[in-house]
Amino acid sequence: MMNIAIVDDRKEDREELSSVLKAYAAASGEELSIQQFDSAEALLERYQPFQYTMIFLDIYMDGMTGMQAAERIREKDGDTLLIFLTTSVEHRADALHNHAFDYIEKPIDQASIYRIMDDILRRTTALEESLNFSMNRTDFAICYRDIMAVSASSHSVFVYDKDGTEYRTRLSFTSISEDLLKDRRFLPIIRGVIVNMDYIQDFRNGVCFLARDREFPCTLRKEKQLIRTWQNYNFQKLRNEAGRRRRG
């Protein structure tokens, strides 16, 4: 089941989007759980990470704006998909900064929502490679998309997943990095540390900040280059996703 939040201070807009999503669910056979909020404050009051698969956020609302809410969400949840709703295109750069999945101009149309939902379904159901290892006599298989980072100490290699869980593996850092670095999402930031760029929040003063309050040192003299690589990755990802939706 997909859990969806719609945040808009206009009831008619919430109801319209909800109706389109319900029609999509009926046509596709997908099960959707939809919750409506009339303000960003109402959404954030009891918000928990991974509570929603996606959040449709109106940008212009009384009180806290959608962009301000997105920043609060991203402080503790780098996983949920954010789709901004607005009457203006002037906030595209801010949407990118908050790792938006899409940006829709009002009035919404059914075709645009259907394309977004199709793309999200393809993304969430696509088979991916996984990192397989054992720890404490238990076998694990973590999809590449769910790996936040891998780090090596003098005697151990640690894998960190999107939920913040830490795994200690006997696999060598070299063997893991050879596989992960074939995937464009992964970036070596210093010797013995690889991070998934989907979870990067910021680079600052020789530190790479990730989701779930995870952070690692990075090579200070290469920090600007690392930032450019991360930004280019995000731009290309958004372009690719927009292109797939247009073709869809």
Per the CB < 8 A criterion, the answer to whether 61 and 43 are in contact is: no
Predicted local confidence at residue 31, as pLDDT: 87
Q: Which of 126, 155, 181 is the last residue of a domain?
A: 126
Based on the fold, state whether residues 104 and 134 are members of the same structural domain.
Answer: no
Based on the fold, state whether residues 33 and 60 are members of the same structural domain.
Answer: yes
Predicted local confidence at residue 80, as pLDDT: 83
Based on the fold, state whether residues 146 and 197 are members of the same structural domain.
Answer: yes
Based on the fold, state whether residues 21 and 54 are members of the same structural domain.
Answer: yes
Q: Is residue 244 domain-resident?
A: no
Predicted local confidence at residue 74, as pLDDT: 86
The type of residue at 71 is E
Based on the fold, state whether residues 167 and 182 are members of the same structural domain.
Answer: yes
Based on the fold, state whether residues 138 and 202 are members of the same structural domain.
Answer: yes
Based on the fold, state whether residues 70 and 121 are members of the same structural domain.
Answer: yes
End-to-end CA distance of the chain: give it in Å, rounded.
23
User: Residue 10's domain is classified under what CATH number?
Assistant: 3.40.50.2300
Based on the fold, state whether residues 209 and 97 are members of the same structural domain.
Answer: no
pLDDT for 162-183, tens place per residue? 998 999 999 999 999 999 998 8
Instruction: From 227, 25, 218, 17, select the one nearest 121 (Cα to Cα).
Output: 25
Predicted local confidence at residue 126, as pLDDT: 45
Predicted local confidence at residue 37, as pLDDT: 97
Based on the fold, state whether residues 134 and 59 are members of the same structural domain.
Answer: no
Range of the domain at 164: 130-236
Per the CB < 8 A criterion, the answer to whether 92 and 42 are in contact is: no
CA distance linking residue 137 with residue 131, whole number of Å: 16
Q: Give the pLDDT of the chain (248 residues) as one tens digit per residue.
A: 788 999 999 999 999 999 999 999 999 888 899 999 999 999 999 887 767 889 999 988 999 999 899 989 988 877 788 999 887 666 555 545 555 778 888 899 999 999 999 888 876 654 457 898 888 888 888 989 899 999 998 889 999 999 989 999 999 999 999 999 988 899 999 999 999 999 999 999 999 999 999 999 999 999 999 999 999 888 877 766 655 555 44
Predicted local confidence at residue 100, as pLDDT: 74
Based on the fold, state whether residues 52 and 103 are members of the same structural domain.
Answer: yes
Based on the fold, state whether residues 165 and 53 are members of the same structural domain.
Answer: no
Q: Which of 104, 126, 148 is the last residue of a domain?
A: 126
Q: Is residue 245 domain-resident?
A: no
**How big is the CA angle at 69 (ends 160 and 67), to the nearest 5 degrees?**
105
φ, ψ (nearest 5 deg) of residue 227: -65, -45
Q: Which of 100, 126, 152 is the last residue of a domain?
A: 126
Based on the fold, state whether residues 170 and 106 are members of the same structural domain.
Answer: no
Q: Is residue 152 domain-resident?
A: yes
> Helices (DSSP H) in 77-171: which residue ranges?
92-97, 110-125
Predicted local confidence at residue 210, as pLDDT: 97
Residue listed under structure tokens 């859990």? 3
Predicted local confidence at residue 240, as pLDDT: 64
User: Residue 167's domain is classified under what CATH number?
Assistant: 2.40.50.1020
Q: Is residue 222 domain-resident?
A: yes
Q: Is residue 116 domain-resident?
A: yes
- Give the predicted TM-score (pTM) of the model: 0.53
Name 202's bridge partners: 209
φ, ψ (nearest 5 deg) of residue 120: -65, -40
Report the domain count for the chain.
2
Residue listed under structure tokens 């596709």? 28
